[in-house]
Amino acid sequence: MKIGILTSGGDCPGLNAVIRGAVLKGVISHEAEFVGFRWGWKGVVEGDIVPVTRHDVRGLSKQGGTILGSSRTNPFEGENGGPDNIRRMLEAEGIDAIIAIGGEGTLTAARRLVDEGGLPVIGVPKTIDNDLAATDYSFGFDTAVEIATEAIDRLRTTAESHNRCMVLEVMGRHVGWIALHSGMAGGAHAILIPEQPMSIDEICHYVESVRERGRAPLIVVAEGFKLDTMDEAHSHLGLDAFNRPRLGGIAEKLAPIIEERTGIESRHTVLGHIQRGGAPSAYDRVLATRLGMAAVDAAVDRAWGSMVTLRGTDIARVTIAEATGGLNLVPQSRYDEARILFG
């Protein structure tokens, strides 16, 4: 069996561990052959293919990023896009299956290719946001939380040195898992997430409460957070390849308002792509490796349209449709739990 692997969408720690797990399991257990599509779906559409051997993945689990490259290409666009053209390319190259490692956009495209073209695709969930339904956790999330928590620890010392309010923006387009976990771990005085719009008055109340106790306020905000007066998340960066707004800048918007309303000097920091970089945590290396191994088994079983997933501590299979049919939102109970610690 010849299997093609791609990494698409935003990169994250653990992608290389998936590739390594898949190749090792495929070669050792199934005598499979592997190729990689370079730059995500772009490589599928353009037929940009490189061999991936057991030697190529040696020691790869600790390496951040992706050796195959990634992009936000839509496989249905362009003169070579669409299921018919992709099927012809697979047949010409003798490729029997595609393992698509990606998040919401990548897996939505994978589902369409299966549903509309009957293409042999297996999904692997990848998102630092932890926003995919049908999996308890996705690799990359644990590493991103560790990075964000370290940033909170560092910001706290400089905030206290100047008695300032610090507003840290972390990733989280639709869900606030990174903000919630890092905010709780770092002792943030307020955690602002997309699932829970809040008024500026309430935010300023938390800030003033912290100052009254002689502390320097520290707020963590997810990029997708909306004030209760906002219809959409803040965006001034245009659209991505899937016509979604590129989010970012809510911390920059909030800090001067907080300063104006409270009189407390306020600064903002946007953590941005630092959350995606560097070596994956041990947890993410293990999870990514297990998912890669399970994806190969799904391909051997010809379980097209399925996605490997984490359920508790077990690896299972669900349909890609289940994974992309809804978001893994922060439940009210988890936010209420954290909210007791605000202010």
> 318 by DSSP, 3-state: which?
strand
Residues 223, 170: contact at Cβ < 8 Å?
A: yes
Pairing of strands 33-37, 49-51: antiparallel
Is 172 annotated as belonging to a binding site? yes
- Check if 129 is active-site: yes
Is 11 annotated as belonging to a binding site? no
What was the pLDDT predicted at 234?
86
Residue 139 gets which letter from DSSP? B
Residues in the chain: 343
What was the pLDDT predicted at 99?
98
Is 164 annotated as belonging to a binding site? yes
Cα–Cα distance, 64 to 91 (Å, whole number): 32
Stated pTM of the model: 0.93
Cα–Cα distance, 318 to 91 (Å, whole number): 27
What was the pLDDT predicted at 241?
60
Dihedral over alpha carbons 179, 181, 187, 193 (to 10 degrees)? 30
Residue 312 tokens read as: 């508790």
Residues 317, 306: contact at Cβ < 8 Å?
A: yes
Residues 12, 127: contact at Cβ < 8 Å?
A: yes
Residue 37 tokens read as: 């599509």
Cα–Cα distance, 56 to 207 (Å, whole number): 51
Residue 195 tokens read as: 């699932």
Please tell me which residue in 48, 96, 115, 129 is annotated as part of the active site: 129
Is 105 annotated as belonging to a binding site? yes
Is 171 annotated as belonging to a binding site? yes
H helical segments located in the chain: 15-30, 41-46, 83-93, 104-117, 141-162, 177-186, 200-212, 250-262, 282-300, 320-324, 332-339
What was the pLDDT predicted at 44?
96
Q: Which residues of the chain have pLDDT under 70?
A: 240-242
Is 66 annotated as belonging to a binding site? no
